[in-house]
Structure formats: structure tokens, C-alpha cells
């Protein structure tokens, strides 16, 4: 009897295996998605035999207007995949320029990630897959066969914010073996980000490794702090553990961060082998980080010789009432008189912050303060911030 039961189970197992093999043909067991083709087109595949519709939404598609708390902004467009007889949905793009792209699928109205692509990044509370099309600008974002720097996660004491706080530090290739002191770039993230945003989305490690190896940028230390005042560490990295990320955490743009920024500078200059003077310090940031960089650099007007504002959030704020935000014109004038070496502003023409940056440039013009300005196409996107960093870094510490 026992032998008969075993035989029946074996027959059932073989039968089930045959049924599933018929539902999912062998050639579909290893679906490749995305597939970057030799001509620069990219093919996406999604196996969903019972789905009625599958779309892809991505930043390589024509943008669409979406409602945000800041009004209408450009968001990633969407297009349909085509269903094959075997239940495999496919879409092939037109040839794409060399860039790092993000995308997700929408299956019967529900957004989901690509189950065949393990490479994904978090932005605020959303997770999107990524891929790179090479043979151009995006080669700067790849890990190439060059000398590689190191990345360290440190905790610095902030007496002003009354906690130990996490930051990410890049040191260039050869730092550990050398005795040379290096200049420092403090690189600040935007709203919804944390101390890991620039190294993940911004590809800072790859960009700096490649620029330094090519002789286009000076060897430098890059410090990436957490700009969210209420956090000791980024999402999943601090004492609060795992919780849903927010786009803009409380107190992040009320002056506390800027007023206590020298806690970071002091820690770096005590812990790392750096040149601790104005000529060898730079500060830059994107969006909220650009807002922080502008205010930090003028509130401490004799601290940084290089300032970079990438799509800076320079709009007036109701909570910007503290000491840090007073006497803006006067402190900008002092900053100008201290003869800083580079004040750099970059923004896309379609950015919702474009007019705020136009207004700020007029303020600088009225003060007679010189700056370098880069205006590009497109809006408030990581693609541009990588471009701006790759343009800004070679100008430092010359």
C-alpha cells in the first residue's frame, strides 16, 4: 500500500511538472529584462499570462504633467507593452542616449518593479529599477578599470542637534597609503533623500573615481551628510529602524541644519587628513541641499571658497524665520568681499524652481557678485544633478 502511494505521488509530481512546463515554456524560465541592444535600443519583458495590460513608465519616455504639492511638474511618461501568445509582454525603445535610466511596470493599473532586474533605487518612499546605456556620458557612471576610492559611514557628534548623526565619506584611491592632506567637497542631498542618496542615485563614487583617474578632477574627499534634522541616520540606518520615508521631514528647512553645519566640518577636520582652510573647502547640493548650501555658505561667509547650487530650492519659506535666514543681502555681500573662487548655479529650463533661480541670480547681479551659470533642458531630475556634479567637480581646488 505504501509503495502504491509513493508511486501515485510520483505520477502526480510528474504531471504537475508537465502542466507548469506547458504554462511557462522553457525559453521563458530565464527572461532577460532589460536587454540593452547594440544599436542603443532597450528591450523590456514581463511575464504575465493573465494580465489584461502591461505598461512601462520611465524617464526615457516623453514626460507628462503630474500634480505635486508644488503644482504641476513633469513626471515620467508611460507606454504599452505588447502581449505574445506565450503570455510574455515586450517593448523595445527607440535608440537611447548614453545615460542612467529608471523605470517601473504598471500591470492592470498596479505599479510594480521588474522581477528580472534586481537593480533598483529608492527615492523617498518609491522604488524603481535602473539600467545604464553606455558608450557616452554614462560611462562616467560605470565602475571602470581605474583606481578605486573607498566609502566610509561615520557617526559625528552634533552638540547643537543633540545627537550622533550618520554621514557618508568618499576618500579617493590611494588615500590610505598616502600622507598628503586633501581638499573637501561637502555634497548635500535633496528632500526625500538622506546621506546615501548621492552615492546611490548620484553615482558619486563612480564619477569621482573616473574624473580623478582621467586627470579631470583633483583628488578630494567628498562628505555626504544627512540633511534631515530629525534623523540620526537615513531610512533604515538610524535608531528609528524601518519606517515609511517622507518627502520632507519636519525642521529640515528651518535653519537648524545650517546653524549647526560646522559640527560636520569640525568632525571631518579632526578625523580625516584634510586641508582645513577656506581655499580647500567646497559645498554644493541639489534642491533642498542647494537651499542649504546657499544659506550655510553665506551664514559662515569665510568658510567655503567654492559653492554649487544644483536646481536649488530658493523659494521663500514660511518657517524661514530664524537667525540663519536674516540679513541675506548683507551676508552675501560679505561672501563676495571675501573673494570666493567659484559660485556655481545650474538648473533646467523646465524645472519648477527655475523662476526662483532667475530671481536669485538678479539678486546676485544687483550685488555685483560674480557667478558661473549653467542652464540645461529638462526639469528637476537626477539625470541633471549627475551632469552638474560632473561639470562642477573639475572646477574645484585649481
Give me the DSSP letters along 211-278. Answer: HHHTTSS---EEEEE---TT-SSSTTTSTT-S----SS-TTTTSSHHHHTTHHHHHHHHHHS-B--SG
Pairwise CA distance, residues 114 & 129, whole Å: 7
From residue 185, alpha-carbon distances to 103, 120, 168, 305 in Å are 31, 27, 12, 11
- Determine the pLDDT at residue 321: 55
- Determine the pLDDT at residue 246: 81
3-state secondary structure of 335: helix
- Determine the pLDDT at residue 122: 86
- Give, rounded to a whole angstrom, the gap between the first and last alpha carbons of the chain: 86
Pairwise CA distance, residues 43 & 24, whole Å: 20
pTM for the full model?
Answer: 0.89
- Determine the pLDDT at residue 22: 43
- Determine the pLDDT at residue 67: 66
Query: Considering only CA atoms, which of 162, 68, 163, 179 is closest in space to residue 124?
Result: 68
- Determine the pLDDT at residue 8: 44
Query: Considering only CA atoms, which of 190, 191, 194, 224 is closest in space to residue 207?
Result: 224
- Determine the pLDDT at residue 123: 80
Q: Which domains does the chain have, with CATH numbers?
A: 23-135 (2.60.40.10), 141-395 (3.40.50.1820)
- Determine the pLDDT at residue 15: 45
- Determine the pLDDT at residue 317: 65
Positions in the chain whose pLDDT score sits under 70:
1-29, 65-74, 317-321
From residue 13, alpha-carbon distances to 24, 71, 267 in Å are 16, 57, 63
Measured from the Cβ of residue 275, the count of other Cβ atoms closer than 10 Å reads 17
Amino acid at each position: 500500500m505504501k509503495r502504491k502511494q509513493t508511486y501515485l505521488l510520483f505520477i502526480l509530481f510528474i504531471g504537475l511538472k508537465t502542466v507548469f512546463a506547458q504554462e511557462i515554456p522553457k525559453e521563458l524560465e530565464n527572461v532577460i529584462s532589460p536587454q540593452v541592444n547594440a544599436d542603443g535600443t532597450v528591450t523590456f519583458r514581463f511575464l504575465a499570462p493573465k494580465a489584461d495590460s502591461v505598461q512601462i513608465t520611465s524617464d526615457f519616455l516623453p514626460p507628462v504633467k503630474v500634480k505635486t504639492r508644488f503644482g504641476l511638474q513633469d513626471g515620467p511618461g508611460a507606454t504599452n507593452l505588447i502581449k505574445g501568445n506565450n503570455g510574455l509582454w515586450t517593448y523595445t525603445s527607440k535608440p537611447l542616449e548614453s545615460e542612467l535610466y529608471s523605470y517601473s511596470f504598471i500591470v492592470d493599473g498596479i505599479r510594480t518593479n521588474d522581477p528580472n532586474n534586481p537593480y533598483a533605487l529608492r527615492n523617498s518612499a518609491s522604488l524603481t529599477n535602473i539600467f545604464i546605456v553606455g558608450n557616452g556620458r554614462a560611462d562616467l557612471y560605470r565602475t571602470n578599470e581605474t583606481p578605486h576610492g573607498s566609502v566610509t559611514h561615520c557617526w559625528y557628534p552634533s552638540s547643537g542637534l543633540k545627537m550622533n548623526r550618520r554621514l557618508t565619506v568618499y576618500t579617493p584611491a590611494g588615500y590610505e597609503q598616502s600622507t598628503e592632506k586633501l581638499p573637501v567637497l561637502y555634497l548635500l542631498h535633496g528632500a526625500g533623500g538622506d546621506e546615501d542618496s548621492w552615492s546611490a542615485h548620484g553615482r558619486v563614487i563612480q564619477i569621482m573615481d573616473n574624473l580623478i583617474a582621467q586627470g579631470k578632477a583633483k583628488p578630494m574627499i567628498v562628505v555626504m551628510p544627512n540633511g534631515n534634522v530629525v534623523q540620526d541616520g537615513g531610512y533604515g540606518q538610524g535608531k528609528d529602524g524601518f519606517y515609511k520615508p517622507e518627502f520632507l521631514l519636519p525642521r529640515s528647512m528651518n535653519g537648524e541644519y545650517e546653524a549647526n553645519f560646522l559640527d560636520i566640518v569640525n568632525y571631518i577636520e579632526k578625523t580625516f587628513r584634510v586641508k582645513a582652510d577656506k581655499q580647500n573647502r567646497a559645498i554644493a547640493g541639489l534642491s533642498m541641499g542647494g537651499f542649504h548650501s546657499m544659506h550655510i555658505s553665506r551664514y559662515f561667509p569665510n568658510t567655503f571658497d567654492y559653492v554649487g547650487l544644483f536646481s536649488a530650492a530658493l523659494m521663500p519659506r514660511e518657517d524661514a524665520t530664524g537667525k540663519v535666514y536674516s540679513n541675506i543681502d548683507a551676508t552675501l555681500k560679505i561672501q563676495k568681499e571675501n573673494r570666493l573662487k567659484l559660485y556655481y548655479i545650474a538648473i533646467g529650463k523646465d524645472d519648477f524652481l527655475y523662476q526662483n533661480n532667475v530671481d536669485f541670480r538678479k539678486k546676485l547681479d544687483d550685488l555685483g557678485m560674480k557667478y558661473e551659470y549653467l542652464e540645461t533642458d529638462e526639469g528637476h531630475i537626477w539625470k541633471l544633478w549627475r551632469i552638474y556634479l560632473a561639470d562642477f567637480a573639475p572646477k574645484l581646488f585649481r
